[in-house]
A and B are shown apart, each in its own frame.
Chain A
Amino acid sequence: MKVLVPVKRVVDYNVKVRVKSDQTGVDIANVKMSMNPFDEIAVEEATRLKEKGTVTEIVAVSCGVAQCQETLRTAMAIGADRGVLVQTDEELQPLAVAKILKALADKEQPELIILGKQAIDDDANQTGQMLAALLGWPQATFASKVEIGDGKATVTREVDGGLETLSLTLPAIVTTDLRLNEPRYVTLPNIMKAKKKQLDTVSPADLGVDAAPRLKTLKVSEPPSRSAGIKVPDVSALVDKLKNEAKVV
């Protein structure tokens, strides 16, 4: 079966972003960009399903600026067979991405779409669920284990207080949680091979999608900073501070 894996290019998770002084956004010029960590887990899971023989083709998709090609090449170096870039310089919000992905799913007819549970830039945690709704497919979010068989996906999810397992009729949507797998390192030979894989570029308009943002960002500001704390010399000083100064114990 065919799997679609959407991947997002985001500011690398190790970068501490700075808010622009004019409060229009965060400064991402000249900052290291990478594949969203949850999406790496999604590509890895698709690749493992292919290695098991369950999956025949993996199509990686990314929406955004031309540089998202690099993210797609990374996905192909991990194991995706080909890539589709939906190129636009406009801001894309989760609803728009979900609509783009729906249009692609209608065209590609995958039986499974694996997404990351959230992107670490907007922290929205919406796209997978929205895509499931638009396609009318079942969803299993926050997956920590996925098994495919008999036209069904059996997915264990990380929920508040523990784990729960669902059975979904395919086609279905799965979003990955951190503990689903450990993504492999891409090797140089695979990076070279990925360069030869097919990468198609389309626009949201080609897919008939109106990608205009619905949420207007009025400003982006620094979070309130904590006032500088102190270091205490020993445990008794700490207890004294907690009891008499902070009065929390």
Chain B
Amino acid sequence: MSVLVIAEHDNAQLKGATLNVIAAATKIDADVHVLVAGQGAQAAADEAAKAVGVTKVLLADGDSLGNALAENVAEQVLAVADGYSHILFPATVSGKNVAPRVAAKLDVAQVSEITAVVSPDTFERPIYAGNAIATVQSQDAKKVLTVRTTAFDAVAAQGGSAAVETLTVVGDSGKSSFVGRELAKSDRPELAGANVVVSGGRGIGSAENFKILEPLADKLGAALGASRAAVDAGFAPNDWQVGQTGKIVAPQLYVAVGISGAIQHLAGMKDSKVIVAINKDEEAPIFGVSDYGLVADLFEAVPELQKSL
């Protein structure tokens, strides 16, 4: 049977995470459909149709889906669930919000944050903040999965030509409503998908000092990240947090500045290709995972690094 991928999008554009989930889906079955549930989301559906590996796009476009309320999106997914053996969501905030709701209504277990497809019913997933990898087999007829996007290489965004089919939109549940949204504005690449990430920790000292990372990030075309300590201390906004409870990243280059390297932080970045640590404490656990460690005062090393790149 076919595999259904629930697209991550902001109504106007398909998010890159969707392409990683499609890649995971193609490892399960060749017939991959993508559901775009939103409002005014035709453009996102057209983009999904061009992704390599997609055989059909389902577009559910209506008022009830505009703000991706879990109650409505889950109903929309359930409306088409019958035809699919697997339903895959990205393990993003929105995917994690909806997937378990769908699984419970189908009375099936959900497998969270899969990092590998062993077979159509067997998957690998990290547990204990990434300190162990569990291989789990689903006993359910239908599999509901969320996919850790950094574990799968994205399919090409161009080259496919799937048909877009329009669905009847489910009504509003009436149980929840959207009040407002406050999104942080940033010209830098999105943290979860960035090739290079420069992150600061408690060692940075203040929100003002965090600016020291900006020229370096700009030079590297990097996204800015932060440890929980830095976020809790108010040095950086919440959505910059990298770790077990923040974002999971796996860039080509991760530069950890003034970050000690607690288990919970490592859970979010230890799959990065190359890790650089700059810390004045040579005993800091971050040096246990870094490829290149520099024991130095970050206030001298960071500007110097930026100049010599």
Contact = CB atoms under 8 A, between A and B. Distances in A.
Interface in B89-119: 92-94, 96-105, 107-113
Interface string B143-179: 0000000000000000000000000000001111111
Interface string A190-228: 000000000000000000000001111111111100100
Given A140-B176, A231-B293, A239-B305, A124 B112 contact: yes
A169 B99 CA distance: 21
Contacts of A129: 70, 96-101, 104
Interface stretch (B28-36, B42-50, B120-128, B205-213): B120-128
A125 B140 CA distance: 19
Contacts of B239: 158-162
B135 A232 contact: no
B192 interface: yes
Contacts of B105: 133
Interface residues of B, number: 90
Contact of B139 (A16, A158, A214): A214
- The CB with the most chain A CB atoms within 10 A, among B139, B238, B287, is that of B238
B308 A239 contact: yes
Interface stretch (B18-26, B56-64, B268-276): B268-276
Given A159-B94, A239-B309, A248-B252, A232 B175 contact: no
Contacts of B134: 217, 219-220
Interface residues of A, number: 79
Given A126-B103, A229-B293, A167 B179 contact: yes
B2 interface: no
Contact of A234 (B70, B104, B237, B294): B294
Contacts of B176: 138-140, 166-169, 172
Given A129-B97, A249-B309, A229 B132 contact: no
A14 B129 CA distance: 11
A59 interface: no
Interface stretch (A63-71, A78-86, A90-98, A106-114): A90-98
A166 B69 contact: yes
Interface string B254-273: 00000000011000001001
A26 B71 CA distance: 36
B111 A162 contact: no
A218 B295 contact: no
Nearest to A93: B109
A241 B104 contact: no
A1 interface: no
B179 A226 contact: no
B39 interface: no
Contacts of B295: 231
B133 interface: yes
Nearest to B186: A161
A41 to B, nearest CB: 11
A17 interface: yes
A249 to B, nearest CB: 6
A235 B304 contact: yes
Contacts of A122: 112, 127
Contact of A164 (B137, B138, B181, B232): B181
B84 to A, nearest CB: 18
A154 interface: yes
B62 to A, nearest CB: 18
18 contacts: A13-B263, A26-B128, A95-B104, A128-B100, A129-B104, A130-B104, A133-B105, A141-B70, A158-B238, A160-B93, A169-B175, A178-B228, A179-B231, A215-B111, A220-B134, A223-B132, A226-B275, A234-B296
Interface of A: 11, 13-14, 16-17, 19, 26, 93-95, 98, 117-118, 120-134, 137-142, 144, 154, 157-169, 172, 177-179, 213-223, 226, 229-232, 234-236, 238-239, 241-242, 246, 248-249
Given A94-B100, A234-B294, A248-B273, 16 more contacts: A98-B104, A122-B112, A122-B127, A126-B110, A130-B101, A157-B93, A158-B238, A161-B239, A163-B181, A164-B182, A165-B180, A217-B136, A219-B135, A235-B304, A242-B274, A248-B196
